[in-house]
Amino acid sequence: MRVDIQREPSRPLDTSLSIIETCGGRITPDEQRLADWHRSFFAGHKERIAFDLDIVRSNVPHNCSILELGSIPLLLTTALSALDYEVTGCDIAPERYASTINSAGICVVKCDIETEQLPFPDNSFDAVVFNELFEHLRINPIFTLSEVLRVMKPSATLMLSTPNLRSWGGMKNYLLRNRAYSCSGDTFTEYQKLAKLGHMGHVREYTTTEIAEFMQRIGFKLTKIIFRGAYPTVFAKSLTRIVPSLSPFVSYVATKPV
């Protein structure tokens, strides 16, 4: 099976970044305790989500039905809606952003994807977005990804992104700090997010081989791996240009076989 290996461009499309910034300016959480987290998330992740939007736009035709799992804080959800995709969001606690959901006129259903079946019939969606979620799963990823496969139409597209454990940062942390992580290494803080934010932080991070093998055993046909993200130092930036597999994040594009 041929898998296309790519390196993310140096910057997202201007149109995608502009859409994310416009949508972000219209989103506010209903819970005051999330205000600081929301501002920090938007500032730190808007470019990454613009890249996510680029990936959707290059893999999914307009007017297709898309299920976005883990849609809070709604940056990608509202952007996809603005581009006339038929988007349905799914989140463990969408009430955190109920006012924005209502004002934007988007559909976001409540579901704990680790313990509940997705509330959709078989073969419902043309595409599914499963970004920055896999590393948060703490119960049974086989159940969760099998449910994703179930609700996808034959030939539908899955777009999944996750930190890259075998990145430059991940290998430095393992060899020099005795810690196995690429992005989030404080285990106590990551579990504490269950109480503070209502969802788990990172349970663990994975290598590309682990994710690829897992997806294939669930039943997905992996078609594309996109190495993503950059480091702040000149040396690390140069290194990941030469060896993209050392990048901090990875996106996977897969299909549901007919």
Question: Tell me, what's the pLDDT at 185?
Answer: 85
What's the confidence (pLDDT) of residue 237? Answer: 93
Gyration radius (Cα) of the chain, Å: 18
What is the distance between the terminal CA atoms of the chain, rounded to a whole angstrom?
A: 16
**pLDDT digit string (tens) for 180-208?**
999 988 999 999 988 887 788 999 999 99
Tell me the C-alpha distance between 17 and 90, whole Å: 23
In the structure encoding, which two tokens stand for residue 188, read together? 């106590």
Domains of the chain: 4-161+204-255 (3.40.50.150)
Which residues of the chain carry a pLDDT beneath 50? none
DSSP 207: -
Q: Does the CA dihedral 252-181-33-18 come out positive or negative?
A: negative
**pLDDT for res 34:** 87
* pTM (two decimals): 0.95
User: Could you tell me if 222 and 252 are in contact, meaning their C-beta atoms sit under 8 angstroms apart?
Assistant: yes
Q: What is the dihedral of CA 190, 192, 197, 202, to 10 degrees?
A: 20
